[in-house]
Amino acid sequence: MSESKGVWVFSEVYDLTLEMLSKGRELADKLQTELAAVLVGEGVQQRANELIDYGADKVYVIDNPGLEYFQAEACVGVLHNLAVDHRPAVLLIGSTRNGRPLAAKLATRLNAGCVPDCFNLSLDEGKRMICERIAYGGNAVATVTFKSKPQIATVPARAFEKSTPQNRSGQVVKVEVKIEPPKVEVVERKPLETSRVKVEEAEYLVCCGRGLEKKDDMTLLQGLAQVLGGQVGCSRPLVEDRKWFSEWIGLSGHKVKPKLYIACGISGVIQHVAGIRDSKVIVAINKDPEAPIFEIADYGVVGNLYEVLPALKEALQKQLQ
Amino acid sequence: MSQLKVDPGTRQLIIAGAPKKISDFDKNALEEAIRVKEKLGGIEILTLTVSSEDAKAVLREALAMGADKAYLVNDPGVQGVDTMGTAYILAEAIKKIGQFDLILCGETSLDSFSGLVGSRLSEMLNLTQVTFVRKLLIEDDNILAERALEDVNETVKAKMPALVAVTREINQPRIPSLMMIMKASKKEIVNWTLSDLDVQREKIDPKIEVLSVIAPTMERKKIMIAGETVQEIAEKLAKALIQEGVVGR
* Domain stops at, among A159, A174, A189: A174
pLDDT tens-digit series, residues A198-246: 787 789 999 999 999 999 999 999 999 999 999 999 999 998 888 898 8
Tell me what pLDDT residue A191 has. Answer: 86
Please indicate whether, in this complex, the C-beta atoms of A96 and B149 are within 8 angstroms of each other.
yes
Is residue B30 included in any domain, yes or no? yes
Tell me what pLDDT residue B17 has. Answer: 45
What is the length of chain A?
Answer: 321
Please indicate whether, in this complex, the C-beta atoms of B212 and A143 are within 8 angstroms of each other.
yes
CA proximity to A170, closest of A75, A53, A293: A53
Query: In Å, how far is A269's CA from the nearest CA of chain B?
Result: 11
**By CB neighbour count within 10 A (0-12 exposed, 13-18 middle, 19+ buried), where does A318 fall?**
exposed
Is residue B221 included in any domain, yes or no? no
User: Which CATH number fits the domain that encloses residue A274?
Assistant: 3.40.50.1220
Positive or negative, the Cα torsion across B219, B220, B221, B224? negative
Range of lowest pLDDT (A21-30, A171-180, B11-20, B201-210): B11-20
Please indicate whether, in this complex, the C-beta atoms of B113 and A144 are within 8 angstroms of each other.
no
Chain A residues in contact with B244 by the CB 8 A cut-off are: 281, 298
Is B15's pLDDT higher than 80?
no
Helices (H), A140-299: 218-228, 237-240, 270-276
Residue A97 DSSP code: T
Q: A119 and A268: one domain?
A: no
Query: Taking CA atoms, what residue in A is nearest to B246?
Result: A259
Is residue A38 included in any domain, yes or no? yes
The percent of residues in chain A predicted with pLDDT above 90, rounded, is: 74
- Looking at residues B143-148, what average pLDDT do you find? 94
Chain A residues in contact with B211 by the CB 8 A cut-off are: 130, 143-145
Q: A73 and A119: one domain?
A: yes
User: Which CATH number fits the domain that encloses residue A97?
Assistant: 3.40.50.620
- Looking at residues B123-139, what average pLDDT do you find? 95
Interface test with A, best of B24, B139, B233, B236 (most A CBs within 10 A): B233
ipTM of the complex: 0.84
Q: A18 and A97: one domain?
A: yes
Q: What is the rounded distance in angstroms from the CA atom of residue B49 to the CA atom of residue B38?
A: 23
Q: A167 and A107: one domain?
A: yes
Tell me the whole-structure pTM to 2 decimals.
0.81
Q: Which domain holds residue B145?
A: 19-204
Please indicate whether, in this complex, the C-beta atoms of B230 and A141 are within 8 angstroms of each other.
no
Tell me what pLDDT residue B107 has. Answer: 79
Is residue B101 included in any domain, yes or no? yes
Domain count, chain B: 1
Q: Which residues in A9-20 are b (16+ Cβ under 10 Å) and which e?
A: bbbbbeebbbbb
Positive or negative, the Cα torsion across A158, A163, A167, A169? negative
Q: Is residue A249 within 8 Å of residue A230, measured between CB atoms?
A: no
Chain A residues in contact with B148 by the CB 8 A cut-off are: 97
Is residue A186 included in any domain, yes or no? no
Q: Which domain holds residue A247?
A: 199-320
Is A172's pLDDT higher than 80?
yes
Tell me what pLDDT residue B16 has. Answer: 47
Q: A232 and A265: one domain?
A: yes
Question: E strands along B110-178, which residues?
Answer: 128-139, 142-148, 152-159, 162-166
Domain count, chain A: 2
Query: Taking CA atoms, what residue in B is nearest to A308?
Result: B230
Out of A115, A260, A307, closest to residue B208 by CB? A115
A257 — pLDDT class (breaks 50, 70, 90): confident
pLDDT tens-digit series, residues B73-123: 999 998 888 899 999 999 999 999 988 999 998 877 655 557 899 999 999
Is A3's pLDDT higher than 70?
yes
